[in-house]
């Protein structure tokens, strides 16, 4: 598959050619924020962003979703209608693509496939976009995420001068760009140079393998309570996170008619683990903070093979009391050093 070139001035016509056959989702400006949203005309696409305010996860795992409708009297249940038009996610940054890769693993893991997630995901095409410059809260490089490439993207765009260099990763992607001119060897070199010039800075966080050891040893550490002191349990961090996948299942009914809904939930909510008996294994903020961090850096890795943090920095950015996940990891490292 040959890599392709698209002139920036042709982006709108390229985008509009996709809209005919696909539901196109791309970053747009909305109330001063960049958000991934369905696009009616490609001229709405706005690429002057670092990364959208919310992650791309809701495209495949919506914040609220009807599992089925029911009638209490007849006991009949009916699955919601499903739009068969395939989705193209255009302009996803590498941290969000890594988030989708993590969710792919979870929702297709084990003996049970999540049909709701997979029917959307399997009917989608991902088009990545190079992130020119990490934001203030970003640390994707810490996880080895390449801002200029992604394995799970069908196509990956890198802007340079008046063009996009299009890396073609899959047949499905190749079909979308068939009519575009092939990239020249010189273009590939230009993109590679861009990538080298934008090498990641060093991070003063303990490296991942060392972190794993610290997390195992530091389960009972006092530092969790210290870190959690200012947390107000709003769980905004879990909502903007590209990998957080916790959900609740509840029924809504009016009279005889109702629906079963799944909605995002979060381990930072104090009642998240409350049993019907009144017992709650995580009553303290420190326990919940520990769950969130260990799930990302230890449990998810053990179960699904990857760390479930992509360094997008959104949790730190959204937190109303400035809990910064990078600082949490640093504090944990320092606490472990003090101990040893």
Residue numbers at the binding site for other proteins (CB under 8 A): 67-68, 70-72, 75, 77, 79, 106-107, 109-116, 118-119, 122-123, 219, 244-251, 253, 258, 260, 262, 265, 267, 272-277, 279, 281-282, 287, 291, 294-295, 298-299, 302-303
Q: How far out from the chain centre does Cα 304 lie?
A: 16
Which two three-digit tokens encode residue 134?
Answer: 């990490």
Alpha helices in 60-207 (DSSP H): 94-107, 115-121, 171-176, 185-197
Run of H or E including 287: helix 285-294
CB of 299 to other proteins, least distance (A): 4
Instruction: Give CA–CA dist 20/183, Å, rounded.
Output: 26
Q: What is the DSSP letter of 211?
A: H
Which two three-digit tokens encode residue 320?
Answer: 């109303």
CB of 310 to other proteins, least distance (A): 17
Q: Which is nearer to other proteins, 190 or 273 (CB)?
A: 273
Q: Which is nearer to other proteins, 179 or 277 (CB)?
A: 277
CA-nearest of 74, 80, 76, 36 to 58 is: 36
CA 3 vs CA 24, 91, 169, 173, 274: distances in Å: 22, 17, 9, 10, 52
Q: Which is nearer to other proteins, 16 or 287 (CB)?
A: 287
CA-nearest of 56, 19, 17, 18 to 34 is: 56
In the chain, what is the straight-line distance between the N-terminal and C-terminal CA atoms, in Å? 53
CB of 45 to other proteins, least distance (A): 26
Counting Cα atoms < 13 Å in the Cβ hemisphere of 155 gives: 26
CB of 26 to other proteins, least distance (A): 22
CB of 122 to other proteins, least distance (A): 5
Residues paired with residue 261 on neighbouring β-strands, in sequence order = 66, 250
Q: Which is nearer to other proteins, 55 or 158 (CB)?
A: 55
CB of 305 to other proteins, least distance (A): 12
CB-based contact 227:331 (threshold 8 Å): yes
CB of 212 to other proteins, least distance (A): 12
CB-based contact 140:95 (threshold 8 Å): yes
Q: Which is nearer to other proteins, 33 or 68 (CB)?
A: 68
Residues paired with residue 52 on neighbouring β-strands, in sequence order = none
CB of 220 to other proteins, least distance (A): 8
Which residues are CB-neighbours of 55 under 8 A, at least 6 positions away?
A: 96, 99, 240, 241, 242, 312, 314
CB of 301 to other proteins, least distance (A): 9
Q: Which is nearer to other proteins, 14 or 297 (CB)?
A: 297
- Pairing mode of beta strands 124-129, 155-160: parallel
Q: Which is nearer to other proteins, 34 or 55 (CB)?
A: 55
Q: Which is nearer to other proteins, 308 or 310 (CB)?
A: 308
């Amino acid at each position: 598959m040959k890599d392709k070139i698209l002139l920036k001035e042709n982006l709108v016509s390229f985008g509009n050619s996709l809209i005919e056959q696909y539901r196109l989702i791309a970053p747009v400006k909305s109330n001063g924020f960049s958000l991934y949203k369905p696009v009616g005309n490609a001229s709405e696409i706005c690429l002057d962003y670092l990364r959208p305010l919310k992650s791309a996860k809701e495209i495949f795992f919506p914040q609220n979703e009807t599992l089925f409708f029911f009638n209490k009297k007849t006991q009949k249940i009916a699955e919601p209608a499903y739009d068969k038009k395939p989705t193209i996610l255009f302009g996803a940054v590498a941290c969000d693509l890594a988030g989708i890769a993590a969710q792919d693993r979870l929702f297709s893991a084990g003996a049970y496939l999540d049909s709701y997630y997979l029917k959307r995901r399997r009917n989608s095409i991902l088009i990545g976009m190079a992130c020119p410059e990490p934001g203030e809260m970003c640390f994707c490089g810490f996880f080895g995420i390449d801002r200029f490439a992604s394995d799970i993207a069908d196509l990956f765009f890198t802007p340079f001068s008046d063009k996009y260099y299009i890396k073609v990763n899959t047949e499905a992607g190749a079909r979308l760009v068939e009519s575009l001119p092939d990239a020249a060897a010189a273009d590939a070199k230009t993109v590679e140079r861009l990538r080298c010039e934008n090498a990641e800075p060093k991070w003063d966080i303990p490296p991942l393998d060392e972190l794993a050891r610290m997390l195992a040893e530091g389960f009972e550490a006092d530092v969790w309570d210290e870190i959690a002191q200012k947390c107000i349990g709003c769980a905004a961090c879990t909502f903007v996170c590209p990998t957080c996948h916790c959900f609740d299942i509840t029924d809504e009914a009016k009279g005889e008619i109702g629906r079963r809904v799944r909605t995002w939930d979060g381990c930072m909510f104090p009642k998240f683990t409350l049993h019907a008996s009144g017992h709650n294994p995580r009553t303290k903020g420190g326990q919940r903070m520990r769950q969130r961090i260990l799930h990302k850096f230890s449990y998810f890795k053990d179960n699904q093979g990857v760390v479930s943090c992509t360094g997008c920095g959104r949790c730190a950015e959204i937190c109303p009391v400035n809990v910064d996940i990078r600082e949490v990891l640093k504090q944990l490292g320092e606490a472990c050093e003090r101990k040893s």
